[in-house]
Amino acid sequence: MARRSRKRRKSRFPKALSRAGKTAMFLLVIALIGAAFAWHEGRDWRPDEELWPDQGALVGAVDGAVDFGTIAGLGAQFVYLEASDGAGLTDVAFAQNFARARAAGLAVGAAHRFDPCDVADGQSANFVTMVPRDPDLLPPAILLETTAAACPARVSDAAVQSELTTLVNQIEAHAGKPAILAPVEEFEEAYAPSRRFERQLWLTRSWFEPDYATRPWLMWTANRWYQTEAAQEPLRWVVVRP
């Protein structure tokens, strides 16, 4: 008896994969469009003044020309000005920003950006050179934004923590008041300053309240891209816990 030849059926699997791939790509495009729209709309957002009455900004030379009168008109009560960075860098706009912010009636604080690759002595000297001893200044802030992973030579966690402790003490001795520590999430995960230092905290997370520290925070950078008529570049908008 002759065998009946079977007609081979083509698998639907490649077509199913193709359809799944197209669906996934479509959903990805929709998600990216949604994220872009949310980011664009979020640039104009800041916390409700009814709930967060004490608001301000972190300002440095990277922000370009800033109109501090306009910042005050937006409802800000204070600004923190970047003053020094590590042992050798300074913010060239600090003195000018300081005078203009004071003239606009804003409370002013100075910020130092900690460099985990440098020893504390040079960093505190850099801060002291830039920032006057002024009892009317807000407590100094230490921006903790970079880990030792970026250092050209290996720096141990213990060394980073030791130099940060020394820097905090030296800056506080100059300012005459306790410093505020401002770790980003990566720095907090690496060195846990919120657990090691009994200092007020300043955390950063745009649009959502941060929860990465081990203790409650005092200050919050609520929008790192706040678009306003006070500056051509987006500002870092900050609020104080009521």
Phi/psi-derived region of residue 165, left when phi > 0, alpha when psi is between -120 and 50, beta in every other case: alpha
Note the pLDDT of residue 83.
Answer: 98
Q: Which residue has the tokens 């664009």?
A: 40
Report residue 114: phi and psi, to 5°. -70, 135
Token code pair at residue 203: 């955390």
Question: Quick one: pLDDT at residue 212?
Answer: 98
* Short-list 140, 131, 212, CA closest to 181: 140
Structure tokens at 216: 């409650």
> CB pairs under 8 A, 24+ apart, for 203-206?
206/42
Q: Under 8 Å CB-to-CB from 155, ≥6 apart: which residues?
A: 116, 117, 148
Residues β-bridged to residue 239: 55, 220
Q: How many Cβ atoms from other residues are within 10 Å of residue 222's Cβ?
A: 23
Q: What is the pLDDT along the chain (242 residues), one digit of tens a residue?
A: 445 555 556 666 566 656 656 555 544 444 344 334 444 446 799 999 999 999 999 999 999 999 999 999 999 999 999 999 999 999 999 999 999 999 999 999 999 999 999 999 999 999 999 999 999 999 999 999 999 999 999 999 999 999 999 999 999 999 999 999 999 999 999 999 999 999 999 999 999 999 999 999 999 999 999 999 999 899 999 999 99
The size of the chain, in residues, is 242
Q: How far apart are CA 214 and CA 196, in angstroms?
A: 10
Specify the pLDDT at position 43. 74
pTM of the model: 0.84
Map tokens 């990805």 to a residue: 28
Strands 180-183 and 219-226: unpaired
**Going by C-beta distance under 8 Å and a sequence separation of 6 or more, which residues neighbour residue 145?**
113, 114, 182, 183, 184, 187
* DSSP tag of 61: G
What residues contact residue 72 under an 8 Å CB cut-off, 6+ apart?
104, 105, 106
CB atoms within 10 A of CB 2: 4
* pLDDT the model gives residue 34: 36
